[in-house]
Chain A
Amino acid sequence: MNEQEIIGSVTRALHRGTRELDAATVARLSALRHHAVTHADTPIRGGSGTLAWTQRHTWISGLLVILLLFAGWTYMHKQELASGVDTDLLLLTGELPPGVYADRVFAPWLQGYRR
C-alpha cells in the first residue's frame, strides 16, 4: 500500500463519514450556522447575566474591583485606629481585666506599646 493509496483510501472514507452524518446532527449544524450568520451584529459572546456583563465591560469591571479593594482597605484602617483608641482608654482608666496582668506576654507587649 503506497502513500497516495493510503491517503486516498482514508480521505474517501472520511468524506463518506460526513455524508452519512445522522439527520439530527446535520439539522443542529444547520441551526448553529443560521444562528451565527443571522446574529452577527448581536453581541452573543458570554450570554447574559453578571459574568457576561463584566466580560463585555472589562474597564468598568476593573475599576469596580479597585474601588471595592480601596473601600475594604479604608474600612480595615479605620477599624485598626478605633481599636488603638479603645486600648488606650482601657489602659488609662485601668479597666483591664485582672487576668490580663497575669498573662506572661502582657508586660512585654505593654513595653512595646508605650514606645
Chain B
Amino acid sequence: MASPQEIDAFLAGAERRAFKQAVYAVRDHHHALDIVQNAMLSLVERYREKPPEQLPLLFQRILRNAIHDHFRRARVRDFWVRLVSPLRDKDDEHGETLESLAGHLESPQRDGPEQRSSGNEELAIIEAAISELPARQREAFLLRYWEELDVAETAEAMGCSEGSVKTHCFRAVAALAEKLKIKGISP
C-alpha cells in the first residue's frame, strides 16, 4: 500500500507531464487543470491501497479516462445546448462537437499562458505538432516515449493490443517527422 508521502512524491513528479498531456488533448488550460485534478482525486480515493510501483500505470489510465470523459461530457452538453438554444444558427447544425472545435484553437493567442510565456518557437511548433496528431497516435507516442512505459504497459493503459501500440507509435513518429521537416526543425 502506498503511503500518503509516496503518493504525494509520485504526483509531484507526474503532475506537470499530466497537465501537458491534458493540454495537448483538450487544448484548454483550465479544462486541463480540471482533468488533472479529477485524475489526482481518483488515484488517491480509489487506488491508494495499491503498491507504489503500480501508480504510474494506474495514473495514466485514470488520466486517459478523465480526458475521454471530458470530451463525452462536452458532446452531451453540446447536444443539449444545440437542441434548446433558440439562437442556434443553421450553419452550425452539422454535428460539430467541442472535440472538433478544439482542433481549430491553434492560434498562439488562444494557447495557455505556459505556451505564451515560453517564447520558444521550436517548442511551440513541436507542441503544436503533438496536439495535431490523431488522439490514439498522440496517446501512444506520449505514453511510450515521454512517460517511458514499455509496449505492454502502453497497451494496457490504452486498452489495446501491443501491435496497435507499435502501429500508432510508428505512425506518430512518421507524422511528427513530416511536420518538423516542413517547419525546418532538425534534431
Contacts and interface: CB of A to CB of B under 8 A. Distances in A.
A6 interface: yes
Contact of B113 (A11, A16, A24, A44): A24
Given A7-B173, A18-B16, A33-B11, A25 B40 contact: no
Contacts of A52: none
A36 B114 CA distance: 23
Given A14-B127, A17-B123, A36 B173 contact: no
Nearest to B124: A17
Contacts, number: 113
Contacts of B130: 10, 14
B29 interface: yes
B37 interface: yes
A24 B116 CA distance: 13
A34 B7 CA distance: 10
Nearest to B4: A37
Given A11-B146, A25-B112, A29-B16, A1 B29 contact: no
B58 interface: no
A3 interface: yes
Interface in A1-22: 1, 3, 5-11, 13-22
Nearest to B186: A1
B41 A45 contact: yes
Interface residues of B, number: 44
B117 A36 contact: no
A38 to B, nearest CB: 8
Nearest to B34: A32
A14 B146 contact: yes
B137 to A, nearest CB: 13
Nearest to A7: B145
A81 interface: no
Interface string B1-44: 00010011001100111011000000001000100110011011
A26 B36 CA distance: 12
A22 B146 contact: no
A6 B114 contact: no
Contacts of B123: 13, 16-17, 20
Given A1-B181, A6-B187, A10-B130, A22 B113 contact: yes
A22 to B, nearest CB: 5
Given A10-B129, A14-B17, A26-B16, 19 more contacts: A3-B173, A8-B187, A10-B176, A13-B127, A14-B142, A17-B20, A17-B127, A20-B123, A22-B117, A25-B114, A29-B15, A29-B19, A30-B12, A35-B37, A36-B37, A37-B4, A40-B48, A45-B41, A45-B45
**A-B pairs, 9 with minimum CB distance:** A9-B187, A36-B40, A5-B187, A18-B16, A13-B126, A29-B15, A40-B44, A32-B37, A33-B11
